């Protein structure tokens, strides 16, 4: 990845909260109201801070962080995350910033742009993120989760409805080239991610994450509850890692 392009990616992530704030301001926060339609997720959805996660929800899953194995602790020491300001563009080794790598699952949620669910059929639901054209295929036909899946950036995902309001997704087959979050917590290719999407009413979605990795984590890492709000008037735009939709010429210097 060229130095100029990496500056563009860094700028994208730096500007994201401001861009998000401008669009969110056009539509005030919604309040609890109408019941959620049964077994429908739809969207677009936008993550919003809560009192419990406001201090960390843009870069990691919990205040405490995971309990890591010695292997993961060594990897974590090598991570030079930029989200705290400790490392600059010239010194970070964040793979998203330096190589324009896909963020992976579950880190993709820390790119603060909207996402939506599209039910393609009874066998497949698509999860589409505005960030960098990212798409996840979630199989809902009851097929077994493979023991030895092919390794990919976003993994292989399998979902089912636990009840009329909670959709559970299990993801395996994630390569070890990504970080779990923007703080730089590592994982192995044995990572398994469980997401619980609970549509508490029409306009509010709660997401809970559990990450299990026998190589990197001493015990499962359970997240705080993340909240998303429905944005029915929005349409997903194009946020490209290349930044070619905006003028970032000043960052090329």
Pick the range with the lowest mean pLDDT from 50-54, 200-204, 248-252.
248-252
Q: Are 109 and 127 in contact (CB under 8 A)?
A: no
Q: Compute the distance between CA of residue 168 and CA of residue 162 in angstroms, rounded to an integer.
A: 7
Q: Does 93 fall in a domain?
A: yes
Domain assignment present for residue 236? The answer is: yes
Q: What span, in angstroms and rounded, lies between the C-alpha atoms of 133 and 66?
A: 29
Report yes or no on 119 lying in a domain. Answer: yes
The answer to whether residue 154 is domain-embedded is yes
- The pLDDT of residue 244 is 53
pTM score of the predicted model: 0.84
Tokens of 60: 């990691």
Establish if 211 belongs to a structural domain. Answer: yes
Instruction: Indicate whether 33 belongs to any domain.
Output: no
pLDDT range class, residue 27, cuts 50, 70, 90 = low
The distance from CA 253 to its chain's CA centroid, rounded to whole angstroms, is 30
Question: The domain containing residue 201 runs over which residues?
Answer: 42-240
Alpha-carbon distance of 222 to 225, in angstroms, equals 9
Q: Do residues 46 and 231 lie in contact, with contact meaning Cβ atoms separated by under 8 Å?
A: yes
Q: How many domains does the chain have?
A: 1
pLDDT tier at 157, thresholds 50, 70, 90: very high
**Is residue 1 assigned to a domain?**
no
| Residue 82: band (very low, low, confident or very high) from pLDDT cuts 50, 70, 90 | confident
- Asked if residue 6 belongs to a domain, the reply is no
Q: Which two tokens stand for residue 235?
A: 């349409």
């Amino acid at each position: 990845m060229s130095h100029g392009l990496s500056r563009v990616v860094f700028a994208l992530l730096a500007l994201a909260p401001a861009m998000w704030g401008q669009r969110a301001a056009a539509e005030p926060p919604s309040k609890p109201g109408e019941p959620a339609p049964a077994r429908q997720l739809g969207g677009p959805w936008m993550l919003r801070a809560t009192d419990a996660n406001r201090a960390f929800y843009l870069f990691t899953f919990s205040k405490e962080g995971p309990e890591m194995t010695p292997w993961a602790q060594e990897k974590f020491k090598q991570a030079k995350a930029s989200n705290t300001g400790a490392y600059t563009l010239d010194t970070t080794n964040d793979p998203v910033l330096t190589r324009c790598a896909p963020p992976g699952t579950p880190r993709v949620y820390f790119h603060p742009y909207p996402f939506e669910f599209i039910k393609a059929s009874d066998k497949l639901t698509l999860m589409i993120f505005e960030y960098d054209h990212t798409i996840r295929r979630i199989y809902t036909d009851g097929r077994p989760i493979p023991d030895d899946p092919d390794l990919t950036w976003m993994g292989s995902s399998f979902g089912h409805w636990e009840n009329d309001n909670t959709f559970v997704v299990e993801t395996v087959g994630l390569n070890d080239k990504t970080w779990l979050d923007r703080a730089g917590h590592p994982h192995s290719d044995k990572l398994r991610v469980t997401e619980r999407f609970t549509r508490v009413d029409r306009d509010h979605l709660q997401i809970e994450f559990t990450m299990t990795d026998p190589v990197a984590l001493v015990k499962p890492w359970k997240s705080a509850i993340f909240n998303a709000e429905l944005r029915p008037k929005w349409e997903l735009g194009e946020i490209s890692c290349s930044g070619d939709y905006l003028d970032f010429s000043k960052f090329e210097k």
